[in-house]
């Protein structure tokens, strides 16, 4: 089977993947993929059953699942407590290589001067939230979307003063991240290690930042699955939203469908 056929088979028949789980690895975004977006990052809701489902999924895949998120690994842990899954956090700038293991920082932490400059830009509105995450800083403007252009100008200037930083857009967020790091780089790094090495990666995500990981998954013999939302339009996406993505994960995992998160699959009509 060619990769396009595999891709559509995996989508329509998740059990196909379950039966060949030892050949594949899953890289999973959190916000907008596993969890519905919320007005602030703290306000996301983790539904009953999601933690169990992720545990089932890890077991089904022989351990070859990783979270790939813009959040810090600590934040990912808090959301999926008590699981401590393999995680690429803050766009690949921090990584937990093995389940329950320590977090490795791949890039230096944000300096006080950089943070001061970013806070000064964000002071244009109390509706802007600055979130420090290890090696990166996320500036959330979900409550004041009309300020995005001004915010982008200000943060671009901060990033351009240093040749080590880039400005990365996301869903109602602009992030200042060290150059050379991305979800794609994080995926490639994990794919060189056990239990991922020798498998084919599938990256599932909903946002601009996931595209680098989707491209990397394709380069490594796998593919990406897109979740519709504020970034991917429905006609370009593979899942209509978080609910459909979660139902697909639950089927791959073999989590019983009586589980509240694993609703019925939408029909074709």
By CB under 5 A, residue 29 contacts Mg ion:
yes
By CB under 5 A, residue 31 contacts Mg ion:
yes
CA distance 97 to 88: 8
Scored b (16 or more CB within 10 A) or e, 99-127 reads eeeebeebbeebeeebeebbeebbeeeee
> Least distance to Mg ion from the beta carbon of 171, Å?
6
28 token code pair: 């999973």
By CB under 5 A, residue 131 contacts Mg ion:
no
Taking residue 58's Cβ as centre, other Cβ atoms within 10 Å add up to 20
By CB under 5 A, residue 56 contacts Mg ion:
no
* Sole binder of Mg ion in the list 32, 89, 136, 154 (CB under 5 A): 32
* 29 counts as catalytic: yes
Q: Which residue is nearest to Mg ion (CB)?
A: 32
Of 154 and 209, CB closest to Mg ion: 209
> Least distance to Mg ion from the beta carbon of 229, Å?
8
By CB under 5 A, residue 206 contacts Mg ion:
yes
CA distance 44 to 32: 10
Span from 28-36, 84-92, 98-106, 178-186 in contact with Mg ion (CB under 5 A):
28-36
CA distance 221 to 217: 7
CA distance 98 to 262: 27
* Sole binder of Mg ion in the list 56, 77, 117, 207 (CB under 5 A): 207
The residues that are catalytic are: 29
The site for Mg ion (CB under 5 A) is made up of 29, 31-32, 206-207
């Amino acid at each position: 089977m060619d990769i396009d056929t595999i891709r559509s088979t995996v989508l329509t028949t998740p059990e196909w993947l379950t039966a060949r789980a030892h050949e594949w690895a899953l890289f999973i975004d959190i916000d907008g993929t596993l969890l519905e977006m919320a007005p602030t990052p703290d306000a996301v809701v983790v539904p009953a059953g999601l933690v169990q489902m992720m545990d089932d999924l890890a077991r089904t895949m022989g351990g070859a699942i990783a979270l790939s998120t813009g959040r810090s690994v600590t934040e990912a842990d808090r959301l999926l407590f008590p699981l401590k899954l393999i995680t690429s956090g803050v766009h690949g700038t921090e990584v937990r290589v093995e389940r329950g293991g320590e977090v490795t920082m791949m890039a230096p932490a944000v300096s006080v001067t950089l943070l001061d400059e970013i806070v000064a830009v964000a002071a244009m509105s109390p509706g802007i939230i600055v979130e420090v995450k290890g090696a990166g800083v996320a500036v959330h403007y979900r409550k004041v979307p009309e300020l995005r252009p001004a915010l982008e100008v200000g943060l671009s200037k901060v990033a351009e003063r240093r040749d080590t930083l880039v400005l990365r857009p996301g869903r109602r967020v602009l992030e200042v991240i060290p150059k050379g790091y991305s979800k794609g780089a994080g995926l490639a790094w994990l794919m060189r290690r056990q239990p991922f090495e020798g498998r084919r990666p599938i990256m599932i995500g909903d946002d601009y930042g996931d595209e680098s990981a989707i491209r990397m998954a394709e380069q490594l013999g796998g593919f990406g699955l897109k979740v519709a939302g504020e970034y991917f339009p429905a006609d370009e996406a593979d899942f209509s939203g978080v609910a459909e993505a979660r139902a697909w994960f639950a089927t791959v995992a073999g989590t019983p469908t009586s589980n509240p998160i694993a609703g019925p699959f939408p029909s074709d009509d």
